[in-house]
Amino acid sequence: MQLEFHQVDAFSDHAFAGNPAMVYRLDTWLADELMQRIAAEHNLSETAFVVREAQGWHVRWFTPSHEVPLCGHATLAAAHVLLEKYGEASEAIAFTSRSGVLSVTRENGRLLLDFPSMPPSELGVTVDIERALNAAVVDVLGAGQLLVVLESEQAVRDCKPDLAAIARLPWPGVIVTAKGDGERYDFVSRYFAPAIGIPEDPVTGATHCSLIPYWSARLNKFTLNAHQVSARGGELFCRLEGDRVKIGGHATLVASGVLTLG
């Protein structure tokens, strides 16, 4: 059996930046174990599998070690592949997923994700979190992921967490964030998820489901520009619209090939 794959750098308008995701368009679902082994073989933060069903496209996402309920950059990558490689005629693609219906549309030369807003709730600073991050913590919140506010953009850039300690926390991953310079970026972030096989994710659309409502409330803005300040880096163009967030970005196809299964 041969399966065609495409690798996309999401949230970047050029190669070797943003977050790489692998995309498979399948005729029918493979066994869960096989999809997990394929994702482990590629060893990217996410591999997306899409199948056209009666109600439309269905998407599933796998890290090298786990299936996850929501992923932004791989959804952006999947939409880019369907539109650019497979000639999907619509200007909007609606994916069914474990997190409900997720739509992707074209806007101003970018792809725009429509995801649920997940406002975080206050949790309070603990010694375990400060020790795990090796950083002074301003605030700690939670909404599916742990969201930790640091004192400055530089503190986010300089953060060198103890990944083993991060993996022991009772959360899938930890977002660190701070206010940006207010000129180019309203806020910055990084995301660490060693417990699900991602030491640091280069650019994470799904974390912005919580980052956008958090920073919108604090900056009194509904339209925000964000930068995930990982080594690869990525730009996200964000809007809060009621109980939904819009997350825009570019996508660049960097490789295509065939996986051969004996």
Instruction: Return the active site residues.
Output: 46
- Which whole-number Å values give the CA distances from 237 to 114, 161, 184, in the listed order? 12, 27, 11
Q: Are the beta carbons of 196 and 217 closer than 8 angstroms?
A: no
Helix (H, G, I), strand (E, B) or coil at 177: strand
Cβ neighbors of 99 (< 8 A, separation 6 or more) are 69, 70, 115, 116
CA dihedral 227→233→235→238, nearest 10 degrees, is -50
Q: How far is 252 from 235, CA to CA, in rounded Å?
A: 13
Spatial neighbors of 119 by CB under 8 A, at least 6 apart, are 143, 210, 213, 214, 217
